[in-house]
Chain A
Amino acid sequence: MQLATWIASGDLELGWALKFDQLSAVMVFVVTWVSAVVHVYSVGYMSHDPHKPRFMAYLSLFTFSMLMLVTADNLVQMFFGWEGVGLCSYLLIGFWYHKPSANDAAIKAFLVNRIGDFGFALGIFGTFLLFQTVSFAEIFAAVPGKADARLHFLNFDTHALTALCLLLFIGAMGKSAQLGLHTWLPDAMEGPTPVSALIHAATMVTAGVFMVCRLSPMFEYAPAALAVVTVVGAATALFAATVGLVQNDIKRVIAYSTCSQLGYMFFAAGVSAYGAAIFHLFTHAFFKALLFLGAGSVIHAMSDEQDMRRMGGIWNKVPYTYAVMWIGSLALAGIPFFAGYYSKDMILESAFGAHSGVGLFAYALGTFAAFLTAFYSWRLLLMTFHGQPRADHHTMEHVHESPWVMLIPLFVLAAGALFAGAIGYNWLVGEARGDFWGKSILVLPQHDSIEAAHHVPTWVKLLPLAMALSGIALAYVMYVLRPEWPAQLATRFRGLYLFLLNKWYFDELYWNVLAEPAMRLGRVLWKGGDGAIIDGLGPDGLAATTQALSRRTSLLQTGYVYHYAFAMLIGVVLLVSWYLLTRAG
């Protein structure tokens, strides 16, 4: 549905549009539901904050941008929504601007996303170069004809679609926090918890997955790019899960879990199981938003304490929160008949069913990550709610269940976490998927991994479940039966523990390799280039010269009449002689 012309410049013509097909319908469903729930929740969560209007305005702006993104019918409008959600994310992470850590996190999120957006923008330029249009419908119609096109750039000669898809995927990596560009997501937890639930779990971070699925007709003709997507997704799933094992901040654990689940979605898309990716996106939105909001409820109850080492023993004081956290964790771990079971298993089976090297790689990593997921989920549950209370007396006295305005959203999401998988299964990945998706997703017949997933051996289907159960069991052993084990393990494998605790040293690597040299270069240019040369000669120098001249001209004004008269006469003499001289010459 075309709304208005936006840009008409030469060959480039594009408009504001609302494109509704099954793919965007699923996204709109998720976005509006989670957004509505989070808005309601925020009324309670932010009730003590003096800047409520600003918060609500940002949230609404975010929802608008997200809807623009998912209903775009061309790449540029999608980019508009993409940047819009990025902006809102920046604003909301830095919502408590008086906290330096929140400001740092906001800037970090913005900068890392810039890298991804740069790739996305390049991808759009390249697409326009290749297809002379940015409209999805026209691009998709032209893709088969360009399947073997080459792209010449400098001295490189590459397969055009692969190059474009990789560029676009870099954009998706930035937004969806995939390995390499993931560093901003854990830090983004500095924002208010409802923000983490809405933006950094359910909607914005999944925009990358959505983009890959939306562009499935392009990716389908770029198998190399798909392989990269699979590998990166699988690696992220495992990496994030390992880091999640040892984090102590309750929100960070969930953040790494998000990162890991996004990895699942990506490798699903990478093996052409786009339906499975969107299905997992759909269920994940419910149970992950539930976990975040539940964590927010816990934080609220614990007087803004986020460190799990100072929690524990509160399960009977916050029964509803406790219950919904259980539901969320069961769904996340993929225990049968909870939402996550359907989608996660479908992804793993598709990966196996793809019968490719990268598919098996993804299956192996994903299955192991499922074990880790179950482990850290129960670690979180057990550390937060069970055991001896580790908070101080004062805090424990104030532990209280959240108000109804916060609980009802939790129940709504809990219902989603319970039933979304069973309800969506048939349409999104089951028998009816062909009719349901129609033309909104393109899967080449030889790539139909979802079909293959329905015919994998039984052990493939059962293995993830077994892994999840053993993860839960191990967590129970380590944190309830033998609480001294974790500390012993940490000392025995100190190197590994620190490696994980410091998130594989990604931040340090980026700081030393990229950020610090850039800062040093920036400092040189700022002090030397801008401060001394440009400011010195430009604004400051001019201003100083002007002031000096001004002082001198003021000195001319002596107040003596004879000086004035003298100046006048000199003036006349000068004018006359100048006149005569120029005339003579």
Chain B
Amino acid sequence: MVPLLPNPVLALPELILAGTGMLLLMVGAFRRTDATRLCVWLALLALVAALVVLAAVTPPRSVTFHGQFVADHFALFMKVLVLLGSGLTLVMSLDYIEREGMARFEYPALIVFATLGMLMMVSANDLISLYIGLELQSLSLYVVAAFKRDEVRSTEAGLKYFVLGALSSGMLLYGASLVYGFAGSTNFDILARVLGQIGAAGPSVGLIVGIVFVMAGLAFKVSAVPFHMWTPDVYEGAPTPVTAFFSLAPKIAAIALFTRAMAGPFAPMVGQWQQIVVFVSLASMILGALAAINQTNIKRLMAYSSIGHVGYALVGLAAGTQSGVRGVMIYMATYLPMNLGTFACILAMRRDGKMVESIADLAGLGRSQPKVAWAFAIFMFSMVGLPPLAGFFGKLFVFLPAIEAGLYGLAVVGMLASVVGAYYYIRIVKIMFMDEPARPFDQPDAQVAGVMALSAVVTLLFFAACWPIFAGAAAAAKALQIG
């Protein structure tokens, strides 16, 4: 019996963000003086409030809004990561946007709307609500990417992202319609039940094509190979705090969405989609490792790095087991602090008031600003996956399930790719500590330094406090249907 009225309490965090977003627009429009700073703080307040409420209201599993919206532990885990990512990148961007002439109140509002979209994605329990959340997020991101509208690179990035994003949305929609046509429903619960009853004859071709298209759309959002090509250009072109934002919250949300879709409604067809995830994951790891070597721009390098990381995270999904899903979640939990910290370091790369982005500019940082350099080194070593830093646990928990599932080739190639990747991560450390110093950078902003320190501590001491995270991830993985 479906209840007549939805239960809005379950969606309270989303409602808070929606209300705040609209409020910000009002405040910004009606205040005569510059309202950016106020809006940023309001947005932060809303994100914190959403975080608190989220922890308070989320039940083990409950579906509402006529089956469109699900609140469960998986959603809780991922939403916490998303909200942390959004909030901390917003904090870091505060001084930047004022200095770089992007101080407009729309910026925090767009971030809030994008975050709202992401929360919707994580909680989607229907192909329709999935699409709504995705589009809300994407539309906000297109605008944010082009936020420095008088700079060619930024607008080009926004435009490219928009055109390709529209294409991927089209694919996703087309796939969704095929799935609906061949399975008879868009609701995840019903899909799972219907697909679970498919007999020995196997699913029909149309259904499979539909799933492939849906996956292509999702793969675009997580920037997995071969749907990754927008990533380097957009990362490089967008303003740095926006790039930081792109690499965190949307990526976490998209991975969550990917995982929920694959391990939820399509869980019965794991045999069908596994090979695609394996392929995408392999291709992402290899390309992420190889293409990054030649980069001279640190943001472009981070784009390839994030492609590689998505590949690693998908290794867990490719395993197609509950422990694999747990691995994906732990991976994203470790990815958050180290990537956040890296971008804090990149934001600290400012010389004479101007941002610099070349890797060579880091030369000798170990002598001119040892604290920043050490933090940077911690993040790089964590990205390599060196124990006992956070990144090691992420890799451990995705590769173990893959090996348990018999995907030895994937695990071996993943390891090799991470060796290649180690080259360009450690090269940065080498440049910082062993090359002749370039002129020193300006002192980093207080917020940036704070985020950097926080991330460094979390990355460094992750092993000391990781058991609650592992337990939470295990509980969250149980919320999905996959066996």
Contacts and interface: CB of A to CB of B under 8 A. Distances in A.
Contacts of A509: none
Nearest to B273: A579
Interface string B417-452: 000100100000000000000000000000000000
A546 B279 contact: no
B208 A568 contact: no
Nearest to B276: A575
Given A565-B164, A575-B212, A570 B226 contact: yes
A553 B164 contact: no
Interface stretch (B122-130, B290-298, B456-464): B290-298
B212 A553 contact: no
A567 B232 CA distance: 15
Contacts of A29: none
A576 B220 CA distance: 16
Contacts of B185: none
Contacts of A52: none
Interface string A561-574: 10111011011101
B212 A561 contact: no
B229 A568 contact: yes
A138 to B, nearest CB: 43
A458 interface: no
Given A561-B160, A567-B229, A568-B226, A575 B279 contact: yes
B202 interface: yes
A565 B228 CA distance: 10
Nearest to A570: B226
Interface residues of A, number: 27
B293 A546 contact: yes
Given A547-B293, A553-B291, A572-B213, A564 B229 contact: yes
A98 interface: no
Contact of B220 (A546, A568, A575): A568
A172 to B, nearest CB: 46
A582 B275 contact: yes
B291 A557 contact: yes
B60 to A, nearest CB: 35
B287 A553 contact: yes
B291 A580 contact: no
B212 A551 contact: no
B272 interface: yes
Contact of A565 (B159, B163, B209, B291): B163
A579 B212 contact: yes
Contacts of A2: none
Interface in A489-520: none
Contacts of A9: none
Contacts of B420: 546
Nearest to A551: B294
A583 B160 contact: no
A551 B202 CA distance: 43
Given A568-B226, A571-B226, A550 B290 contact: yes
B205 interface: yes
A550 B291 contact: yes
Contacts of B275: 578-579, 582
Given A575-B279, A579-B208, A580-B208, A554 B291 contact: yes
Given A547-B293, A557-B229, A570-B226, A583 B202 contact: yes
A559 interface: yes
B216 interface: yes
B290 A553 contact: yes
A432 interface: no
B290 A572 contact: no
B171 interface: yes
Interface in B158-172: 159-160, 163-164, 167-168, 171
Contacts of A563: 229
A477 interface: no
B294 A550 contact: yes
A554 B303 CA distance: 13
Contacts of B205: 580, 583
Interface in B205-258: 205, 208-209, 212-213, 215-216, 220, 226-227, 229-230, 232-233
A7 interface: no
A549 interface: yes
A583 B201 CA distance: 11
Nearest to B229: A564
Contact of A568 (B164, B209, B233, B272): B164
A570 B171 CA distance: 13
Contacts of B168: 568
Contacts of A564: 160, 164, 229-230
B326 to A, nearest CB: 26
A559 B233 contact: yes
A549 B291 CA distance: 8
Nearest to B230: A564
A556 B420 CA distance: 19
A583 B208 CA distance: 10
A571 B216 contact: yes
A59 B220 CA distance: 67
Contact of B171 (A546, A557, A572): A572
A567 B226 contact: yes
A563 B228 CA distance: 12
Contacts of A549: 290
Interface in B268-324: 272, 275-276, 279, 287, 290-295
Contacts of B276: 575, 579
Interface string B83-115: 000000000000000000000000000000000
A468 to B, nearest CB: 63
A572 B279 CA distance: 12
B286 to A, nearest CB: 9
18 contacts: A546-B290, A546-B293, A550-B293, A550-B294, A553-B290, A557-B232, A561-B159, A563-B229, A565-B164, A567-B226, A568-B168, A568-B227, A572-B212, A574-B226, A576-B209, A576-B213, A579-B212, A579-B272
Given A547-B294, A564-B230, A579-B212, 5 more contacts: A553-B291, A554-B294, A554-B295, A561-B159, A567-B229
Interface of A: 546-547, 549-551, 553-554, 556-557, 559, 561, 563-565, 567-568, 570-572, 574-576, 578-580, 582-583
